[in-house]
Structures are given as C-alpha cells and as structure tokens.
Structure 1
Amino acid sequence: MRAALGVMLVATLAACEPVGMTGPGQPAVRLMGDVVVAAPDGYCVDPVVTRPQTGFALLAACAAMDPDGDGSFPDDVALITVQVGAAGSAAVAGQEDAFRAFLETPQGAALLSASAIGGPVAVRGTQANTNAVAVYTQDAGPPGVAGTQSTSWRLFTDVKGRLVTVSVRGLEQTPLSQDGSLDLVLQVLGLLRGANGGTATAT
C-alpha cells in the first residue's frame, strides 16, 4: 500500500510541473521577502517545483521524493502549497472578520476559483482567528491535479507585511477528513509563525 502510494504521489508531483524529481528535498526553504517556510514532520520541500524567487513552495512526503530511501510516510499524506505575496500585500491582521465574510460571498468564491488549480470552487466553511482566516472549498469540477481530492483547506495569514496563503489537498487514494486537513494546515501555520518570529494561532 505504501509503495503504491509513493508511486502515485510521485506521479502527482510530476503533474504539477513537467519535470522529473531530482531527489529528496530539504525541511525548510526561504522564499522572497525573507519568509521562511518549514515542513511538518515527514514532509520536505520539493526541490523541483518550488520557486523561491516567486514566493512559491510545494511540500510533500519526503518518502515520495526518495523512493530508494528508508523514510516512512506521514500519517496524513497531502500536497501542501505555500504562496507568499508581494510586499505590502498583507490583508488579514485586524481585518479577520471582514476577510472571512468576503470569502463567504459569491465574489469571494469567484476570487478563490480564479486562484485555484482546477477552476471554480464552492465554499463549504470558513474559520477565523487572530491573523488567520481559513476556508474549506470543494471543486465544482475535476481537480486540477489528477489523483487529488476535490476538497481542500486554504489559510490566509500575514507574515512580514506580505499575504501568505497555505493550502492542503489530500490524495484521492488516501483522502483526508475535513478535520485532518485542517490540522495539517494549522501545523504549517504554527511552523510558519515559529520560523518567522510570530506566534502560532489556531483557527
């Protein structure tokens, strides 16, 4: 089962960008704006798809990137993306309730759809706390990356004056529950806060 999962995840990663894997990644990466992204236990930064100069990182199971190694898969397997916005793009801290309310409108759903892999999404739930707004969405059509779930959590937070978006999408073969997916996105938030001098905030 784990071997089959590894093959599937490598294939899914390859679908994100048409290049081959080059080996295991690192546990952290520094993106533009000096924003440090650290991976949860069992996850590594994908060295091929990640683009530090554009503020984008893909985190995936380390074992999938190093099929010849002896590492084990994390209990919850998913594709995790982190996108850091431009300088001055911060939009969450102090405006959490308004941000959350906007995401629940048709205009908010349209904005999420425009920035999602796979096209239109429906908003299934939102949560907010200090400097953190999360939204649970479901794809209206097939997922943009074959083999992944149609549902995902996306979280928005401000780091060093920039809007940072974290998304977690499980695999179709080993789907994540809504709570499991939220737990993973909150792990990334906690690591993001810790690595950048902030305080982790649960939604």
Structure 2
Amino acid sequence: MRWGLPAALAMIAALAGCEPVSLTAPGEPSVRLVGDVLVGGPAGYCVDPVVTRPRQGFALLAACAAMTADETDTYPGDIALITVTVGDAGSAVVAGQEEDFKTFLETPQGAALLSASAIGGPVAVRQTQTDANAVAVYTEDVGPPGVKGTQTQAWRLFTDMRGRLVTISVRGLSEDPLSQSTSRALLTQMLAILRRANDETAT
C-alpha cells in the first residue's frame, strides 16, 4: 500500500476545513459541480467524497485504492492528487485570450495569484504553455509544500467550460514523484475527460 497518499488526503481535508469522517469511504466515479460541470477521472481514479465540495465548485480526485480498507486494491501506474475547481458564472476568461493569460501568469502578479490559490502556498513559475482554450503552468513551491507527502512541483491548467473558468491541477507524491512530462500527460488526459463529459470542444 502507498502510505503517502492517504496521509496527503487527510492533510487536504484539514486544510479544507473538513472533518475527515473516514478516509476509507469508497470513492465516487464522478461528481457534478456547480454550473453543471461533470467531473470524472482517469482509470483508477475516484472522486474523494470527504474533501469534495460540489456546491463550492471543488473536487479532489485520487487513487480509488487509497479510499478503501483493502490493501490488495491496485493503484494506477501514475499516482497524483488531482483537483478541479469551477469558478463563478461568467468567469470564463481563457478562450481567445490564451497568450495574454499566459503572459500574465509569467509576471510577479501572476505568480502571486497562483500562490494565493495553491494548496502548496507560494510558488515560482517554471514553464507556461498555451493551446486552444487552455493555458497550462508548471510551478514549484518556494517553501515546504502545504500538503505533507506531496512533491513541490505541480501542473495547473486553466480553461473555459460552460461559461466558467475551470482549473485543473496535478501534483505527485514526494515518495513517488511524477516527472514533468508524466504530470503534464495526466493533466492533458484530465482536460480531455472533462471536455468529453461536458460536450465541450477546445474552441
């Protein structure tokens, strides 16, 4: 069993102000967040029912095996904590402004905004990328990660969906860290899953 993941889930529950009644509660395959945004994950990932807050537009996805008491359950090959956050109605700002959004994230003000909204706290921007209706940023924690047991690097992606700004983040574990490319591939997979689930295209 990978002990780091249950510990990280417990830490996120504490940071979110949630009482972790049970971290062995079975995960859900999907959840519908505010704005009617349906969220599901890659094979082997489930929605954590303890930390996820649908009405607040927040979902945490992790290995389904981390949410059961059966130590023989199989973990996916790439372990990460994945979060999806849905903004307010009318908050969509990415489509058609990808380059401007990317340029802003590369400024000190952009880094400060990322730091304020990151589980890990203050971050430094290491790389940014754009695609149609998508801006991705790779960050590294300046100090210790806010979630014990997670690595200091993380990918985050911003996209518009159903008229709202949607943010996806992928962060690996310190004991089994993800490479930058592996983490990016998982981020891309999550974006594709969300677009299919919500009948959204890149434009």
TM range (shorter): over 0.9
The counterpart of 2:35, out of the listed 33, 36, 61, is 33
2:17 alignment counterpart = none
- Name the counterpart of 2:53: 51
TM-score (norm 2): 0.94
Q: Post-superposition shift, 1:134?
A: 0.2
Deviations 1:50-83 (A, max 9, x none): 0001000000000111131643111100000000
**5+ residue gaps, structure 1:** none
CA distance in 2, matches of 1:42, 1:22: 16
Aligned twin of 1:188: 190
Read off the aligned partner of 2:53 and give its amino acid letter.
Answer: R
Alignment of 1:46-195 (within 5 A): 46-68=48-70, 70-195=72-197
Query: Does the CA contact (< 8 Å) of 2:132 and 2:202 recur in 1?
Result: no
Q: CA deviation at 1:145?
A: 0.1
TM-score by length of 1: 0.94
The 8 Å contact of residues 86 and 166 in structure 2, kept in 1 or not, is answered as yes
**Aligned-residue offset at 1:120:** 1.2
CA-atom RMSD, angstroms?
Answer: 1.3
Aligned partners of 2:120 and 2:186: how far apart in 1? 21
**Alignment partner of 1:12 out of 8, 11, 29:** 8
1:22·1:47 contact (CA, 8 Å) conserved in 2?
A: no
Runs of 4+ in 1 over 4 A off after TM superposition: none
Q: How far is the alpha carbon of 1:116 from its aligned partner?
A: 1.0
Q: Is the 8 A contact 1:189 1:200 kept in 2?
A: no
* Corresponding letter in the other structure for 2:6: V
Q: What is the number of residues matched between the two proteins?
A: 197
The alignment-based identity, stated in percent, is: 66
How many Å separate the matches in 1 of 2:109 and 2:55? 30
Q: Which moved more, 1:68-77 or 1:180-189?
A: 68-77
